[in-house]
């Protein structure tokens, strides 16, 4: 893996694909700058090495040019976070763009207009990739959030830099974190897979069975398994048509020696409401008209023991409807166990969507070994897929 570390960038114009697809409010202010902060170490390293950074990103899903989705809106935030003046080019490619870049000093930074104002970007158009490549002497990909897309700026452009294409520090960190869980993790390796539906996590579950020793299944997915085993799940979220698939998965896990841990007790509710009436019942005895929205205290205790035995922990998906305080106890309790186990030397990776949101919301971010910045890209990595943005740097 060729990263930007220990390379010479003095006097070079370096194209850096970042993921600045950040949320904006109605005043076009950045409301969550996590992704800008995440790219800062790479930009700092390149500019300190004497490079001129040409930042490429997309913002939202524009259909053609859309002033509401101009990257110019984020220039003040990017400047504040990088602690330096950041120039902006209203053209992404072409002579005007190249001219704007030439006015930036080495050690400086320029952000180009939204890549997706050009439909060719998402089509992976070779001519557009060529025009992007014309903007600099070297290519760095630091956009893990779009690494699962074979777009012009994330994959195709790399063909133009066979000897000068590099992993940015964020992308390298993400790839190493996945490797640490999927390939080189110290045993026992535990995966905690929660979230709403089995259907959206099926490929992940199947791919993980070859890599792990323990599997905790949590969240709404649980009730498809319990229903398949003949339990009563009331009105809990359930995919009855996946009965055979769920049973086959449990069989496969058994055959591979993977210990599967399902909740034994759950918090049920008479409505999908934070103020509804709740009680704790066995997971397979949920009365009609009641729905399970979190795991119960006995389950959490057992999950805690499993977490503390593990040396490598992957967490994807919450254990309950953590967005409502009443049903957040399982997710918070699990976060506490993982944080404490990490403090005692286990390696923990939190990745893919809502568990990342939960970890941030409940303040565990600093206590995990690694919290991924990529939603879809992390999910596809866990499914065992080679991401086009990463493959393009390795070929």
The contact set with ligand AMP (CB under 6 A) reads 195-197, 200, 219-220, 237, 292-293, 317-318, 320-321, 323, 353-354
Per the CB < 8 A criterion, the answer to whether 171 and 197 are in contact is: no
Q: Which of 79, 231, 375, 376 is catalytic?
A: 376
Q: Say which DSSP state 110 is in.
A: E
Shortest CB 271 distance to ligand AMP, Å: 13
Shortest CB 199 distance to ligand AMP, Å: 9
Q: How far is CA 101 from CA 137, 351, 354, in A?
A: 12, 36, 38
Q: Which of 219, 333, 352, 353 is catalytic?
A: 353
Shortest CB 357 distance to ligand AMP, Å: 8
Query: Which residue carries 């503390």 as its tokens?
Result: 308
How far apart are the C-alpha atoms of 4 and 7, rounded to whole Å?
Answer: 6
Q: Which of 84, 197, 243, 360 is catalytic?
A: 197
Which segments of the chain does DSSP mark as H helices, in order? 34-48, 75-82, 95-102, 120-123, 126-133, 169-182, 198-208, 222-228, 243-255, 297-309, 329-343, 354-361, 376-382, 388-394
The residue (of 51 and 237) whose beta carbon lies closer to ligand AMP is: 237
The residue (of 3 and 316) whose beta carbon lies closer to ligand AMP is: 316
Determine whether 35 is an active site residue: yes
Q: What share of the chain is helix, strand, coil (3-state, %, to 5)?
A: 45, 20, 40
Q: Which of 35, 172, 201, 211 is catalytic?
A: 35
The residue (of 165 and 227) whose beta carbon lies closer to ligand AMP is: 227
Shortest CB 331 distance to ligand AMP, Å: 8
Residue nearest to ligand AMP (CB): 195
How far apart are the C-alpha atoms of 280 and 10, rounded to whole Å?
Answer: 63
Shortest CB 14 distance to ligand AMP, Å: 35
The residue (of 193 and 250) whose beta carbon lies closer to ligand AMP is: 193
Determine whether 197 is an active site residue: yes
Helix 243-255 vs helix 198-208: angle between axes, to the nearest 10 degrees? 20
Spatial neighbors of 179 by CB under 8 A, at least 6 apart, are none
The residue (of 167 and 327) whose beta carbon lies closer to ligand AMP is: 327
How far apart are the C-alpha atoms of 358 and 175, rounded to whole Å?
Answer: 22
Catalytic positions, please? 35, 197, 353, 376
């Amino acid at each position: 893996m060729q990263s930007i570390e220990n390379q010479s960038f003095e006097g070079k114009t370096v194209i850096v694909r970042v993921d600045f697809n950040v949320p904006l409010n109605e005043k076009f202010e950045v409301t969550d700058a996590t992704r800008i902060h995440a790219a800062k170490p790479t930009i700092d390293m390149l500019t300190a090495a004497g490079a001129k950074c040409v930042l490429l990103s997309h913002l939202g899903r524009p259909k053609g040019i859309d002033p509401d989705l101009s990257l110019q809106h984020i220039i003040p935030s990017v400047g504040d976070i990088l602690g330096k003046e950041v120039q902006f080019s209203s053209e992404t490619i072409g002579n005007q763009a190249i001219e704007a870049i030439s006015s930036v000093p080495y050690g400086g930074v320029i952000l180009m207009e939204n890549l997706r104002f050009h439909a060719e970007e998402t089509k992976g158009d070779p001519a557009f990739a060529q025009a992007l490549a014309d903007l600099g002497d070297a290519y760095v990909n630091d956009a893990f959030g779009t690494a699962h897309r074979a777009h012009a700026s994330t994959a195709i452009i790399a063909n133009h830099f066979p000897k000068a294409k590099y992993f940015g520090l964020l992308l390298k960190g993400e790839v190493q974190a996945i490797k640490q869980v999927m390939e080189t993790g110290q045993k026992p390796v535990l995966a905690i897979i929660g979230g709403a539906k089995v259907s959206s996590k099926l490929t992940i579950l199947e791919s993980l069975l070859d890599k792990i020793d323990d599997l905790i299944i949590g969240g709404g997915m649980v009730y498809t398994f319990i229903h398949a085993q003949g339990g009563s799940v009331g009105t809990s979220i359930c995919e009855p048509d996946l009965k055979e698939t769920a049973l086959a998965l449990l069989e496969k896990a058994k055959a591979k020696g993977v210990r599967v841990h399902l909740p034994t007790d759950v918090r049920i509710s008479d409505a999908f409401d934070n103020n509804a009436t709740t009680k704790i019942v066995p997971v397979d005895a949920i009365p009609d008209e009641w729905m399970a929205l979190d795991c119960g205290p006995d389950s959490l205790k057992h999950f805690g023991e499993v977490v503390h035995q593990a040396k490598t922990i992957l967490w994807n998906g919450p254990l309950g409807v953590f967005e409502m305080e009443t049903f957040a106890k399982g997710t918070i309790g699990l976060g506490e166990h993982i944080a404490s186990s990490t403090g005692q030397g286990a390696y923990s990776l939190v990745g893919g969507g809502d568990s990342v949101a939960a970890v941030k919301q409940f303040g565990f971010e600093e206590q995990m070994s690694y919290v991924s910045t990529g939603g879809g890209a992390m999910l596809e990595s866990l499914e065992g897929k080679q991401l086009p943005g990463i493959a393009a740097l390795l070929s």
